[in-house]
């Protein structure tokens, strides 16, 4: 059996040491199963979204002296994790043709599977080069399958990691549990939260009760792909001024049209002194700094948590990593699909279905980690107002996977049909075209979540904060 969303949310809330009385203001409805999965994805989505929404309501309470009711339906929460959207009537292709799970090792005498992530050309071409294939988009899946026959799964995984690529070998839960990185991840908190420097308390400013909870709170969003952008989008839905910072030299996926709802979108080249100077100026006026660089990456540019705390005492830093912050894989690159594969989910989900390894029906690690990042940033801001200090919040995909596994399994979940989203999607103005997407699953009795800015292509805005009205 699986845990309940109410118990799960309560544990998240209490671990962050937030006011107990707020827990009486949220109503969670619905039950598993909702998605075709043996895992409690709905519970995970509902409790992580509920935590983020309740933290926003608690900030609103601190600013207005009033409380409001929060509601999250399990089905709506799970469907938000589908990440479905369309642009001008076209549903973009999520995966590159070479991304996926491959059998390998037949000629090496050790059959197994590896997952290759090829959504970015440099990752695709790096994997093809390692396999002895010609880089470019002419390669087909059959070419990759043939080349992998001579590779043992973990040898290919290791050599890919050494080359800075993104590949995972398939493991069972038992095999992952025996890995030193699994043991390191198990010692970390789901939402790590610690002070990183002394700073005076920065009380939350009073707010007109008609205004959204995070109005005037400034968030720098230096994240890409899904988890971090979902976290920033969630904060924007609660009224924050979220500024998405992209490099002018890095590619993006089409999901940016969906995950940029509510955000300002700027270009900064942090490889230049001008870019770093501009970011430092923005940091001095920011409240929350969210980043998804590989551990150590942002610090190498001069924006590690301690440097940020020196620039802006009292700031809340939120960091995302793939495999956690300790252990031999702490600096390893990864995405949701790869972490699912390496931590045992693809193997376990396959056993629940037809025996063939298979992915979860949604990128649950990305979405839940994103909602938990939004929760952690708000929780730390609440504690800063109460206790002072600068704060560092840590979330990882691997620790989120450990948590999801711990929620238990859903009987008959594998027999659940894929849900329909007809009638649930909404149309949004967008600088990318006509955007049709799913709304945020949380409801607020006084300040319904919404995005006051339309999503815009990277570089559409100047790197300047709007005035705090």
**Catalytic center residues:** 366
Place of tokens 């988890």: 227
Compute the distance between CA of residue 325 and CA of residue 332 in angstroms, rounded to an integer.
10
Which tokens in the block code for residue 442? 């949380």
- Helix (H) / strand (E) element for 442: namely strand 442-444
Number of H helices, E strands in the chain: 17, 16
Q: DSSP state, 408?
A: B
Q: Which residues pair with 72 in a beta bridge?
A: 28, 442
Compute the distance between CA of residue 149 and CA of residue 353 in angstroms, rounded to an integer.
26
Place of tokens 């899904």: 226
Compute the distance between CA of residue 68 and CA of residue 136 in angstroms, rounded to an integer.
54
Q: DSSP state, 432?
A: T
292-298 — which CB contacts under 8 Å span 24+ positions?
292/222, 292/223, 292/224, 292/225, 292/227, 292/228, 292/319, 292/320, 292/321, 293/222, 294/321, 294/322, 294/331, 294/332, 294/333, 295/319, 295/321, 295/325, 295/330, 295/331, 296/331, 298/222
Phi, psi of 287 (to 5 degrees): -105, -40
- Whats the size of the chain, residue-wise? 469
Q: Which residues pair with 90 in a beta bridge?
A: 87
């Amino acid at each position: 059996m699986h845990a309940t969303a109410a118990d799960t949310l309560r544990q998240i809330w209490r671990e962050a040491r937030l006011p107990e009385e707020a827990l009486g203001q949220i109503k969670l409805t619905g039950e598993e199963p909702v998605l075709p999965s043996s895992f409690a994805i709905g519970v995970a989505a509902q409790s992580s979204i509920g935590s983020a929404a309740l933290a926003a309501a608690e900030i609103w309470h601190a600013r207005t002296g009033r409380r409001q009711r929060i509601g999250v339906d399990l089905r709506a929460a799970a469907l938000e994790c589908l990440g479905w959207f369309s642009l001008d009537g076209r549903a973009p292709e999520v995966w590159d043709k070479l991304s996926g799970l491959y059998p390998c090792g037949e000629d090496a005498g050790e059959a197994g599977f590896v997952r290759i992530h090829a959504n970015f050309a440099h990752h695709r071409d790096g994997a093809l080069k390692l396999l002895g294939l010609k880089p470019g988009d002419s390669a087909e899946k059959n070419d990759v399958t043939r080349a992998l026959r001579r590779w043992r799964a973990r040898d290919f995984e290791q050599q890919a990691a050494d080359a800075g690529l993104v590949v995972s070998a398939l493991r069972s839960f038992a095999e992952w549990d025996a890995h030193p990185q699994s043991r390191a991840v198990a010692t970390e908190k789901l939402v790590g939260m610690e002070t990183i420097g002394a700073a005076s308390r920065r009380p939350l400013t009073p707010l007109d009760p008609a205004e959204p909870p995070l109005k005037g709170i400034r968030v720098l969003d230096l994240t890409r792909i899904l988890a971090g952008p979902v976290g920033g989008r969630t904060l924007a839905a609660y009224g924050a001024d979220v500024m998405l910072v992209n490099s002018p030299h890095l590619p993006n996926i089409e999901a940016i049209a969906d995950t940029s709802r509510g955000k300002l979108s700027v270009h900064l080249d942090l490889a230049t002194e001008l870019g770093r100077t501009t970011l430092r100026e923005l940091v001095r006026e920011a409240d929350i700094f969210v980043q998804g660089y590989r551990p150590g990456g942002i610090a190498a540019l001069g924006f590690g948590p301690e440097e940020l705390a020196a620039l802006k005492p009292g700031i809340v830093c939120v960091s995302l990593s793939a495999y956690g912050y300790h252990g031999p894989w702490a600096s390893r690159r990864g995405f949701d699909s790869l972490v699912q594969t390496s931590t045992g989910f693809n193997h376990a989900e396959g056993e629940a279905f037809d025996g063939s390894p298979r992915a979860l029906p949604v990128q649950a690690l990305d979405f839940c980690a994103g909602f938990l990042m939004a929760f952690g940033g708000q929780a730390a801001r609440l504690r800063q107002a109460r206790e002072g200090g600068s704060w560092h919040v840590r979330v990882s995909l691997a620790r989120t996977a450990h948590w999801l596994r711990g929620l238990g399994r859903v009987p008959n979940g594998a027999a659940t049909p894929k849900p329909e989203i007809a009638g649930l999607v909404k149309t949004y103005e967008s600088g990318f075209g006509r955007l049709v997407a799913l709304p945020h699953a949380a409801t607020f009795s006084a300040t319904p979540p919404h995005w006051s800015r339309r999503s815009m292509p990277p570089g559409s805005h100047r790197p300047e904060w709007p005035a705090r009205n």
